[in-house]
Amino acid sequence: MGHYQKSSTRSLNNGTAYLKMRKMSLVELVLFLFTLTSLVGLVLIFLFVIKESLPIFLKVGPLPFLFGSIWQPTAGKFGLLPLLLSSLILVAGSIILAGPLGVALAIFMVEYAPSYVRIGLKTLVELLAGIPSVVYGFFGIIVIIPLVRNVVGGSGFGLIPGILVLTVMIIPTVTAVAADAIRVVPKENRLIIFALGGTRWQSVYRGVLPAATRGIFTGIILAEGRAIGETMAVLMVLGNAPLLPRTLNQPASALPSQIALDMAYASGDHRTALFGIGLLLLIFSALFISLARRVARSAA
Amino acid sequence: MNPKIEVNDLNLWFGRVHILQDIDIIIPANQVTAVIGPSGSGKSSLLRCFDRTNELITRTKTTGHIVIDGRDLAFEDPLDLRSRVGMIFQQPASLPGSIYENVAVGPRLFGIRDRRKLDVIVEESLTRAALFNELKDRLKKSAGALSGGQKQRMAIARALALNPEVLLFDEATSALDPISTQRVEDLIDKLKSTTTIIMVSHNMQQAARVSDHTLFMNVEEDGAARVVEFGPTDKIFTNPEDEKTERYITGRFG
Amino acid sequence: MRRRVYDRIVQIILIAIASMMALFLIYLVGYIIGSGIRGFSFGFLTRAPSGITQTGGVWPMIASSMYLIGLTLLIAVPLGVGGGIYLAEYAGQGRIVETIRFAVDILSSVPSIVFGLFGLALFVQFFGLKYSMLSGALTLTLMVLPLLLKISEESFRAVPVTYREASLALGATKDQTIFRIILPTALPAVFTGVLLSAGRAFGETAAVLYTAGLSPTTPVFPLDGGRTLSTHLYLLATTGKIEESFKVAMVLLVVILVFNVLSNVVISRFRRRFIKEAR
């Protein structure tokens, strides 16, 4: 795309940073500094979260902190295992549901739907992505929890509504990324199958999907990243009991929601432990996005 | 000369646009028929009438008849029809996956899963496409690494794997270098003993070299394409009846 | 024959899934707006909540949300759009730029509660800004920055190369070309990025909970605290004030819908213009 001066920029960047600074105009320098805020911000986030969480790792030790099975801050017990397991169950459960649904929606949008339906579905996905997570949480409280209570019994709060709410929230991510990946598959891939007498589904299954696999996985990984960090909606439906999850139909507490729940009053070790959870989340999401980047890149 | 395909009074519309008008031709069996004409003269659209792939792209309306071996295409199931009529596209393209998978995809569509059967089909098809010896050691390698010419011959093998009666070439050599083009032309010459071949070409020399019959199409002022002249290639290229044909093949228009 | 049946079944399943999603959205929006509109009056938007139940009005929350969005955009838009210009027009493929792009990607994936933690540690406590609009806005700035950068960069790249060539051919410098020609042309598309960021900031709760605070008062100065509308919904819904929650949820949804429609209108105008000019 429009790079009338790409070659000059390239040669510039092949030089040293020192040379580059000298050739910058004032405008360029200012804009560069603006761009730099993201990097500085990210570094600050890591620094502060690490600094604030360091005491808990030193005091309790990384392994007992991560895998201790009791979270009872008032009793001085900081074991993350109940939260960690609940979070993993939430991520796994929601991706098992949202993965196939999201990909199916993407396939339908790109390969089957007439253009006016496609535009409608695109708006639908954008809207689903735009609805605030507190609204999803509220919807969970008024609709999903009574439903769970009636169908499986118990209070209704717990992992099941958590998974369901998360599923709806991450479908847009899966669908948007998968649809992009499907859209860029060359039209020849479909024509080859059609010309051999294939059905539409065969053209999708044999011609399109194999070429879009990496993009689809990128979408799923990004969605998992979103699911692990989602806070408010999960906080509102989980029941917030930091217990080891034994069944799906029990109150639980997840990593991000525990932070939101306790931060209001936490102090001392409890506070540093919450920053420890924050660090864990930061690492998880950084891993997910790096993985997604790697998968997306190897496609090229 | 046995007729293979009879086209009677064929008219084609894309939406409201009249694309083909009053096409009346008989395509002989086991021969090569070249379709020539300036850009936008409906050559590819006509070709796609024979395997009914126009209707996949836009809303189409057809009147008249196309009859293959006495059977009217309009009453045939398009999926079955397409398995009997192979198409080679202009852009050399491969599906993701190995060379083997690319050639085996047709039979797989029709439910053949038996590995030994597929092995036989793949070898036979590649042999018929004069590609087996060249590629037999790398059948399991990705097809994406093949050259444009190899991909195009692999596309022919892929079509042959279904044993088609008719092969359609839609400017299949226009993206290839001269040597690869030569190989594809040689292949077309060999294949006409078993199949009926219709090729759209922009290249006059190629049409003259390869085909037995030539169909010259042109767009009239109203925008719909008609047949200007159809006959033995020798005659079209040495002694055309229509003045427009002569001007086109001598490069004075189009 | 089997493959045809298969084809049909798949088609039916796909249609069913798409309809299910559409029905779900219609149900969600319809249910919340339908319930929220009962007993709703405009006074609800302009009154302050009263009593220990803190119900009956949301004016301070609307004010806090608007204040917060305004302040966030004030800081984030220059940074994001400026950065977008840099990435689209000046940046090459050097190591620094690659690192920045990677950082932006990571930043875009940071969970909002972690932004909240960070804002609490740095702005609220370390810089002593307390629970305030400013703390919230600075936190939200970092959160919406990746989105703004990405959309701005894309918008600048979408401007046809002929514009640049024409301007440069007339003797304009590169900086002049960018600010007089390219920026005005790309502005509508950049504006959608601003709208999307505003929508994000508006709906965000986890990041503002412990930076902007919970106080149900109308903020005047940047160092005043305030409770946003989304935070208010969280507090209402988790304390069983369902009727009031519906009203707040309705307001949230309507605003988000408006943001969405608006950005779609702007972007489609922008696209249409370039398609026209390409002809």
Q: Which chains touch C (3 or more CB pairs under 8 A)?
A: A, B
Residue C2: the pLDDT is 84
* Candidate from A34, A286, A289 with C-beta closest to C86: A34
**Confidence class of residue B220 from pLDDT cuts 50, 70 and 90?**
confident
- Give the domain range for residue B193: 3-93+166-249
Instruction: Check residue B70 and report its DSSP letter.
Output: T
More confident residue, C30 or C94: C30
How many angstroms away from the CA of A77 is the closest CA of chain B? Answer: 54
Report the C-alpha gap between C140 and A37 in whole angstroms. Answer: 13
Residues from B contacting A (CB-CB < 8 Å) are 51, 53, 56, 79-83, 86-87, 89, 91, 93, 95-97, 105-106, 108-110, 155, 158-159, 162
Structure tokens at A27: 């405008």
Dihedral pair phi/psi, residue B226, rounded to 5°: -130, 165
pLDDT surpasses 60 at A274: yes
Instruction: Check residue A251 and report its DSSP letter.
Output: -
Answer yes or no: is B131 within a domain: no
* Candidate from A17, A107, A124 with C-beta closest to C22: A124
Q: Is A202 on the interface with B (CB under 8 A)?
A: yes
Q: Which chains touch B (3 or more CB pairs under 8 A)?
A: A, C
Residue B134's H or E segment, with its range, is helix B132-135
Query: Does residue A220 contact residue A174 with C-beta atoms inside 8 Å?
Result: yes
Give the residue from chain C lying closest to B79, CA to CA: C4
Considering only residues 144 to 173 of chain C, which have any Cβ-Cβ distance to chain A shorter than 8 Å? 145-146, 149, 157-161, 164-165, 168
Residue A205: the pLDDT is 95
pLDDT surpasses 50 at A300: no
**Confidence class of residue A19 from pLDDT cuts 50, 70 and 90?**
very low
Answer yes or no: is B126 within a domain: no
Cβ distance of B79 and C4 shorter than 8 Å:
yes
Structure tokens at A213: 């696999």
The residue behind tokens 């506070």 is A271
**Confidence class of residue C53 from pLDDT cuts 50, 70 and 90?**
confident
Give Cβ neighbours of residue B230 (< 8 Å, ≥ 6 apart): B25, B213, B214, B215, B216
Q: In this structure, how many other beta carbons lie within 10 angstroms of the beta carbon of residue B133?
A: 9
Cβ distance of C100 and A38 shorter than 8 Å:
yes
Q: Is A86 on the interface with C (CB under 8 A)?
A: no
pLDDT surpasses 90 at B198: yes
Structure tokens at A184: 């860029």
How many angstroms away from the CA of B241 is the closest CA of chain A? Answer: 36
Give Cβ neighbours of residue C100 (< 8 Å, ≥ 6 apart): A35, A36, A38, A39, C87
State the sign of the Cα–Cα–Cα–Cα dihedral C163, C167, A1, A120: negative
pLDDT tens string A115-136? 999 999 999 999 999 999 999 9
pLDDT tens string B115-173? 999 999 999 999 999 999 999 999 999 999 999 999 999 999 999 999 999 999 999 99
CA proximity to A180, closest of A98, A125, A133, A120: A125
Cβ distance of B109 and A189 shorter than 8 Å:
no
How many angstroms away from the CA of A249 is the closest CA of chain C? Answer: 20
Residue A156's H or E segment, with its range, is none
Question: Mean pLDDT across chain C, nearest whole number?
Answer: 91
DSSP secondary structure letters along chain C: -HHHHHHHHHHHHHHHHHHHHHHHHHHHHHHHHHHHTTT--THHHHSPPBTTTTBS--HHHHHHHHHHHHHHHHHHHHHHHHHHHIIIII--S-HHHHHHHHHHHHHHHS-HHHHHHHHIIIIIIIS---SSHHHHHHHHHHHHHHHHHHHHHHHHHHS-HHHHHHHHHTT--HHHIIIIIIHHHHHHHHHHHHHHHHHHHHH--HHHHTTT----S---STT-----HHHHHHHHHTTT-HHHHHHHHHHHHHHHHHHHHHHHHHHHHHHHHHHHHH-
Cβ distance of B91 and A189 shorter than 8 Å:
no
Span(s) in chain A for CATH 1.10.3720.10: 71-298
* Candidate from A189, A196, A207 with C-beta closest to B106: A196
Mean pLDDT of A163-188: 96
Q: Which CATH number is B231's domain given?
A: 3.40.50.300
Query: Does residue B197 contact residue B191 with C-beta atoms inside 8 Å?
Result: yes
Q: Is A119 on the interface with B (CB under 8 A)?
A: no
CA proximity to C145, closest of A28, A132, A285, A39: A39
Query: Does residue C143 contact residue C119 with C-beta atoms inside 8 Å?
Result: no
Amino acid B121 reads I
Residue C51: the pLDDT is 80
Q: Is C259 on the interface with A (CB under 8 A)?
A: yes
Strand ranges for chain A from DSSP E: 71-72, 77-78
How many angstroms away from the CA of B34 is the closest CA of chain A? Answer: 20
Q: What is the ipTM of this complex?
A: 0.93
Give the residue from chain A lying closest to C173, CA to CA: A25
Which of C65, C99, C110 best tests the A interface by mutation, with the highest count of A CBs <10 A? C110
Give the residue from chain B lying closest to C4, CA to CA: B79
- Name chain A contacts of B87, Cβ cutoff 8 Å: 191, 195
Question: Mean pLDDT across chain A, nearest whole number?
Answer: 90
CA proximity to B126, closest of B145, B110, B143, B144: B143
How many angstroms away from the CA of C249 is the closest CA of chain A? Answer: 6
**Confidence class of residue C270 from pLDDT cuts 50, 70 and 90?**
confident
pLDDT tens string C163-212? 888 888 888 888 888 888 888 889 888 999 999 999 999 999 999 999 99
Integer-rounded Cα radius of gyration of chain A? 23
Answer yes or no: is B114 within a domain: no
CA separation (Å) from B23 to A69, B8, B66? 80, 7, 10
How many angstroms away from the CA of C252 is the closest CA of chain A? Answer: 8
- Name chain C contacts of B106, Cβ cutoff 8 Å: none
- Name chain C contacts of A197, Cβ cutoff 8 Å: none
pLDDT surpasses 60 at A47: yes
Q: What is the pTM of this model?
A: 0.90
Answer yes or no: is B100 within a domain: no
Which of C1, C3, C5 best tests the B interface by mutation, with the highest count of B CBs <10 A? C3
* Candidate from A186, A199, A211 with C-beta closest to B79: A199
Q: Residue C206, exposed/middle/buried by CB under 10 A (0-12, 13-18, 19+)?
A: buried
How many angstroms away from the CA of A220 is the closest CA of chain B? Answer: 21
CA separation (Å) from B190 to B30, B164, C52, C76, C209? 10, 15, 92, 68, 77
Integer-rounded Cα radius of gyration of chain B? 18
The residue behind tokens 């508006």 is C202
Give the residue from chain A lying closest to C169, CA to CA: A4
Amino acid A288 reads F
pLDDT surpasses 70 at C275: no
Considering only residues 239 to 258 of chain A, which have any Cβ-Cβ distance to chain C shorter than 8 Å? 256
- Name chain C contacts of B111, Cβ cutoff 8 Å: 2-3
CA proximity to B46, closest of B27, B69, B71: B27
CATH topology of domain A71-298: MetI-like fold (1.10.3720)
* Candidate from B83, B93, B108 with C-beta closest to A192: B93
Residue B8's H or E segment, with its range, is strand B3-14
* Candidate from A197, A206, A207 with C-beta closest to B82: A197
Q: Is A19 on the interface with C (CB under 8 A)?
A: no
User: What is the three-class DSSP state of B244?
Assistant: helix
**Confidence class of residue B99 from pLDDT cuts 50, 70 and 90?**
very high
Residue A145: the pLDDT is 96
CATH 3.20.20.80 fits C59-278, yes or no: no
pLDDT surpasses 80 at A188: yes
Q: Is C254 on the interface with A (CB under 8 A)?
A: no
Considering only residues 123 to 152 of chain A, which have any Cβ-Cβ distance to chain C shorter than 8 Å? 123-124, 126-128, 130-135, 137-139, 141-143
Cβ distance of C4 and B110 shorter than 8 Å:
no
**Confidence class of residue A10 from pLDDT cuts 50, 70 and 90?**
very low
Total tally of structural domains belonging to chain B: 1
**Confidence class of residue B223 from pLDDT cuts 50, 70 and 90?**
confident
Q: Which chains touch A (3 or more CB pairs under 8 A)?
A: B, C
Q: Which residues pair with B142 in a beta bridge?
A: B98
Instruction: Check residue A239 and report its DSSP letter.
Output: B
Q: Is A184 on the interface with B (CB under 8 A)?
A: no
Which of A38, A53, A128, A222 best tests the C interface by mutation, with the highest count of C CBs <10 A? A38
pLDDT surpasses 60 at A21: no
Q: Which of A13-27, B3-17, B108-122 is least confident?
A: A13-27
